[in-house]
Every structure is written in C-alpha cells, then in structure tokens.
Chains A and B, each alone.
Chain A
Amino acid sequence: MLPLLKNEWIKLWNKKQTWIFAAAIVVIMFAITAIYYSFIEETTVPQGQNWEIALETEIAEQEEILANENEEWVLESAEQKIEENEALLAAGVDPNITNNMTFMNETLLVAASFITLFSVIAASSIVSSEIDNGTMKHLLIRPFERWQFLLAKFLTVVGFSAALFVLLVLVNLILGTLFFGAGSPSTPVMEMNFDGNNLYTTVDKVLPQKSGLYFLNLLMFIIISFSISILFKSQTLAVGIGIFILFATSISQAFTALLGETAWYKYVFLPHMDLPAYVVRDELLPGVGLGFSVGVLAVYALVFIGASTVYFQKRDLA
C-alpha cells in the first residue's frame, strides 16, 4: 500500500496543474489581503484606547434617533445597533481591532473555498485521467487489489488538500502579520449570526472549530467528485457536479428558507455542506443539529464510496 501512496504523491507533484493550484492559493491570498487592507483603511473610526468611548457615543446617537423618529424600520435598526454595541462592550470586543489573528479569522475560510474548488478538480481527475490516457491498465495488472489503487488515490487527494490548507494558513499568517501586525491568538471577536444572537468569543476558540468543520465539508466534496468520476467515467461531469454543489451550498440558506418545512429536506446533503455555520448556531432547522448533519453526510459518504469501489472492482477496463 505504501508504494502506491508514494507513487500517487510523486505523480501528483509531477503535474503542472498541482503547482498552478498551489501558486493560485498564494496569489488569491495576496488579493484578499489587498482588498481587506483597502477596506480597513477606509473605516475612520478611532481605534485603540477610545473604542469603548466610540461605542458609547454611538449608543447615545442611536438613543436620540429612538426618541425623535417614528418610522418603524429606523427604530428597529437603531435598537439593533444599541443592542449590538452593548453586547460588544459587555464582551470586551473591539469591533475595529485588526491584527493578524482577526484577519485570519475573517479571511481563512473565504480563501479556503478555492481549496475546495481545486480539490474537486484534483479528485475528479485522479482516476479518470489515468483511464483516459491508458495508464490505468499498467496499474491494474500489478499485484494489488483494485480498491488499493482507489484508496491510494483518494488519500493522495486528501493529502493534497491538507497541504494546500497548510500553505494557505502560512501565507495568511505572513501577510496578516506584515500588514496588520501580530496580535494575541486570544483576541476577542464577534461572529455574526443573521438569525439569532451573535457569538462573542476569541480567535483561538472559534477558528479551529471553523477549520475543522470546513475540513469535514471538504472531505465530502472530495468523496462526491471522486466517486462520480468513477461511476460515470467522466471527469467533466464530476468537476461540473462538484462546482455546482459548491455554488449551491453558498446559497443553501435560501434553499433552507424555501424548503426547510418539508419533511425530506433535512435528508438532502446540500444544506449540510455549510457546517462552519454551526459555530454560531446550534440548529440548522428545528431538531437538526451538528450531530444530525454529520450523520447525514456520513451516510452519503458511505454510499458514494461503497458504490464507486464496488463498481471499480468489477468493471472491465478496455
């Protein structure tokens, strides 16, 4: 088994595509830093010592609005702002503090969605490209079981994704430190929750959670594209479906709002492809928590892996 893994790893890094993906991660991280930097520059709210005063001033302003206005949406937004600022004050979270830790907390998963994309492409092509160019037959006549080749290839893609993630964290850390200065890992931060209470926490607590949940989803993306490329013998279809799911998950909240009521919706894997959302909320739908989501994904994963392995074990290789 080890020689197969080694072979796959060597083959992977002998492909130009692999290096292009790695380079793209670096470039993308630079771009995100540039955008973030210019965005931070624009905000002129005083920083440092004065942040608590600034928040209190804002509260006072909003209270004045409350007293003088009577249009409903204005009142609502003012109330919300007051509530938020009070919570920030209570939690000791400076909303305008920016250092390499808050930077990483806010940008890591944005950049990581490109890792998902690249992993989908790698997973879709690692089996089908060898079938297409005829090298697979040279593998299958060796003294190994067919599933061992699949396992080696699957683990190689997972390893590749993990390597890209490590690269991303490193580049993110370097750029964050250069542009925003070093901060404490326990810098307090606020995580927005659009339909519930915001979460007040620290970077070192929330970021590992988010990353772990992200990685579970990434694994799922890899399993789906990998299996589809085997079952449908088509690299294009696998990449297409992978990217479709990637886009669909980014708007899955809309689906959830539309279809959340139906009995079957919670058994579809799509709404569970945004696991990092569980950082701020306990339930996706009533009765659907993290455990349920992971359970649903696990069942899908087993079905995909089982079907593709059985098929690959039996198929004729022309």
Chain B
Amino acid sequence: MSQTVLEINELTKQLNRKNIVHNASFQMKKGEILGLLGPNGAGKTTTIRMIVGLIKKTSGKVYINGRDLDEEGRACKSEIGAIVENPAFYDHMSGYKNLEQYARMAKNTISKKRVNEVVELVKLTGAIHDKVKKYSLGMKQRLGVAQAILHEPALLILDEPTNGLDPKGIRDLRDYLRQLADNGISTLVSSHLLSEMQLMCDRVVIMEKGKIINISNIHEEEETESVAGQLVALRVADNHIGLAQEVIAGVKEVTLSQRENGSVLLLKMPYDFLPELNRRLVQGGVDVFGLESRRSTLEDKFLALTSEKSDELQKEAT
C-alpha cells in the first residue's frame, strides 16, 4: 500500500458569505504528480493557500504525511516546498543571497553544495550573483522553483510554475518533477495549460467554481481509449469528401463521428485498422492528404466538463 502524502478533506473557504472553495477533498500518494486544473477563478490558488497555511480554512482538514496541519503546523510546513502564485524575491539582493535566506529557514542545515546544486539544476548558474531585479520573468520563476526544492521537501506545491517559462524551461521542469517523483517526492501542480498538464501529471483534479468536479487518471484513460476505438482524422481532397464517405460506409470497423471544417472527417475505429482503411480509400479512388490518430485530449475533456469556455483558455491550451 502506498503512503498518502497529502490529504485534504472537505476543505472549504468562505469569504463574504461566498464559498470560494467548497468541500474539496482529494489525496495524493507518495511519488505522484497531481495536476490541479480549472478555469480562472476556480479556486486553485485558494486551495493551495489553505494547504500551505497562508489563509485560514473555514472548515475541513489538511493532513500532510498523516499529520494534522492545525495541530502540527510547523512539522507539516517543514515537509512542504511551494510556489504560490508569482514568486516574489528581495529584488535588491542577488539570487544567491535570496536562496541563502530560505536555506537558513529550513529545518535541516543546507550546505553550500546543495545550494549550488539546485542553482545548477534550474540553470541559473550564470546569473545567480546578479541582483534579482535584473532577472527576467522566467528567471524569477526558476529561482522560485529553486527556493521550493532547496530543502528537499516531501511535498512540492507549485502554483502555475510554467508561467513565464520558455519551452525548454517547461521541459526541464517536467523532467525534473518526473525525476523527483521517481525518488518518492510528490508534486501538486496547478495550471490551466492543459497540454502541459497532460504531459506532466499522473492524475488531474478538475475544479470549477470552487468545487472539484472530476478526478481522473491520465494514463488509464489512454489505455481504455485504444481498446474502445480511437479518434482518427482523415483529410482528403475537397471534391472527394462524398467518395470518402461512401468508402467508409462500406467498412463495418469504422464509424463516422463527425465532419470537421471542410475536408476533414473524424472517424472512430480500432487503432490497428488504420493501414487497412488507408488501402481501401486509395483503392476507392480517394486522394488522401492525411490520416492521423487523434487522442482525445485533456483539453477536450476539460472543455466538456467545465461550462465556462473562455476564449482565453482555449487559446492558451493550443
């Protein structure tokens, strides 16, 4: 049986008689990367703030490694490393001096070697002795990650850590979180970068309007999909749409799911039937421009689940 690192139980935050977070419950296992997903204002940051003790809970419980946050706050906090919203630093001090500040506050002594190790890891070695006010947004975010992992916490909580990171930085972070997970460190990461979460997380918790509306396991879903039939996009010459539909109608393994903008057809079929379908189409005289499997993305699921589909979210997800 795997150990539970974080458990939140019916967590509620009420402000001005409004439930900003309402009865949120979930658990995190050791070595798990859990995504916290939700549209703007869903209550992700509020949930995280309650877990790290920045704001008081209206009701509910938080347990970290089985300890009650209310009763053993300091013991709990010493096992957490966190970024809450935008990391802020002492701008007039160097990145290194900032890290030294956090190193001193850790429960265990943190060696210079460890500090340098972390600096190297977040790839700030060249700039670490510059003042933080000279840092770019992404560099600050990296320094934020550095201060969160410095004391080797059992639970990492990262609120939108990819904010401002370049693609390489995001990839590095993802690889690093995976590496940490392999060493038994759990990460709770919030974001609305859906494609990112799909690559990064083991499970996602989807929040909307303060409530948890879905918890799902990303990898499991991929497996069930490939058995039940996969979504495939077929692109043909404009004037061959009708012809293609005729061919498809004659193949019992394939069902037409929907016609997408112009000359693309979305089909549902077993994955290994792809080559055969292609052959039939060519034999039927259809000019095929593309035939590719399309996983139903987290985005599809997210948008289906959350009623608010702001333009912004969709843009960010692509």
A contact set with B: CB distance below 8 Å: 3-4, 6-7, 10-11, 14-16, 133-135, 137-145, 314, 316-318
Chain B's nearest CB lies how many Å from the CB of A314? 7
Q: Kindly report which residue of chain A lies nearest to residue B82, judged by CB atoms.
A: A141
B-side contacts of A10, CB under 8 Å: 97, 101
Contact B56 A314 (CB under 8 A): yes
Of the candidates A7, A14, A15, A314, the one whose C-beta lies within 8 Å of that of B105 is: A7
Contact A142 B54 (CB under 8 A): no
Contact B74 A145 (CB under 8 A): yes
Q: Kindly report which residue of chain A lies nearest to residue B55, judged by CB atoms.
A: A316
In angstroms, Cα B298 to Cα A147, docked, is: 44
Which one of A3, A16, A142, A144 has the greatest number of beta carbons of chain B within 10 Å? A142
A-side contacts of B105, CB under 8 Å: 3-4, 7, 139, 142-144
Q: What are 20 A-B pairs with beta-carbon distances under 8 A?
A: A3-B105, A4-B105, A16-B92, A134-B86, A134-B88, A135-B88, A135-B90, A138-B89, A141-B53, A141-B80, A142-B77, A143-B106, A143-B107, A145-B73, A316-B49, A317-B49, A317-B54, A317-B55, A318-B54, A318-B55
Contact A316 B56 (CB under 8 A): yes
In angstroms, Cα B87 to Cα A3, docked, is: 22
Which one of B56, B89, B97, B105 has the greatest number of beta carbons of chain A within 10 Å? B105
B-side contacts of A314, CB under 8 Å: 56
- Chain B residues touching A, majority SS: loop
Q: Kindly report which residue of chain B lies nearest to residue A139, judged by CB atoms.
A: B105
The 5 closest A-B pairs by CB, nearest first: A134-B88, A143-B78, A316-B55, A3-B104, A143-B74
Within 8 A of A (CB), among B16-52: 49, 52
Contact B104 A7 (CB under 8 A): yes
Interface string of B82-113 (1 = CB under 8 A from A): 10111111111100010001101111000000
> Is residue B249 contacting chain A, with contact meaning CB distance below 8 A?
no
Contact A14-B80, Cβ < 8 Å, known A6-B104, A135-B88: no
Contact B93 A14 (CB under 8 A): yes
Interface string of B128-172 (1 = CB under 8 A from A): 000000000000000000010000000000000000000000000
A-side contacts of B106, CB under 8 Å: 142-143
Contact A316-B93, Cβ < 8 Å, known A7-B101, A134-B88: no
Q: Kindly report which residue of chain A lies nearest to residue B91, judged by CB atoms.
A: A133
> Is residue B228 contacting chain A, with contact meaning CB distance below 8 A?
no
> Is residue B282 contacting chain A, with contact meaning CB distance below 8 A?
no
In angstroms, Cα B78 to Cα A128, docked, is: 25
In angstroms, Cα B73 to Cα A135, docked, is: 20
In angstroms, Cα B102 to Cα A6, docked, is: 12
> Is residue B288 contacting chain A, with contact meaning CB distance below 8 A?
no
In angstroms, Cα B157 to Cα A137, docked, is: 13
In angstroms, Cα B304 to Cα A308, docked, is: 48
Q: Kindly report which residue of chain B lies nearest to residue A135, judged by CB atoms.
A: B88
Contact A14 B77 (CB under 8 A): no
Chain A's nearest CB lies how many Å from the CB of B111? 15
Contact A137-B77, Cβ < 8 Å, known A14-B90, A316-B55: no
B-side contacts of A11, CB under 8 Å: 90, 93, 101
Interface string of B216-258 (1 = CB under 8 A from A): 0000000000000000000000000000000000000000000
A-side contacts of B101, CB under 8 Å: 7, 10-11
In angstroms, Cα B87 to Cα A135, docked, is: 8
B-side contacts of A317, CB under 8 Å: 49, 54-55
Contact B77 A135 (CB under 8 A): no
> Is residue B274 contacting chain A, with contact meaning CB distance below 8 A?
no
Of the candidates B82, B92, B107, the one whose C-beta lies within 8 Å of that of A14 is: B92
Chain A's nearest CB lies how many Å from the CB of B83? 9
A-side contacts of B78, CB under 8 Å: 143
A-side contacts of B107, CB under 8 Å: 143
A-side contacts of B85, CB under 8 Å: 134
Of the candidates A4, A138, A140, A143, the one whose C-beta lies within 8 Å of that of B88 is: A138
B-side contacts of A140, CB under 8 Å: 53-54
A-side contacts of B89, CB under 8 Å: 135, 138
> Is residue B213 contacting chain A, with contact meaning CB distance below 8 A?
no
Q: Kindly report which residue of chain B lies nearest to residue A129, judged by CB atoms.
A: B90
> Is residue B199 contacting chain A, with contact meaning CB distance below 8 A?
no
In angstroms, Cα B90 to Cα A7, docked, is: 12
Chain A's nearest CB lies how many Å from the CB of B108? 10
A-side contacts of B317, CB under 8 Å: none
Chain B's nearest CB lies how many Å from the CB of A64? 68
Chain B's nearest CB lies how many Å from the CB of A245? 29
In angstroms, Cα B67 to Cα A143, docked, is: 14
Q: Kindly report which residue of chain A lies nearest to residue B77, judged by CB atoms.
A: A143
In angstroms, Cα B89 to Cα A14, docked, is: 13
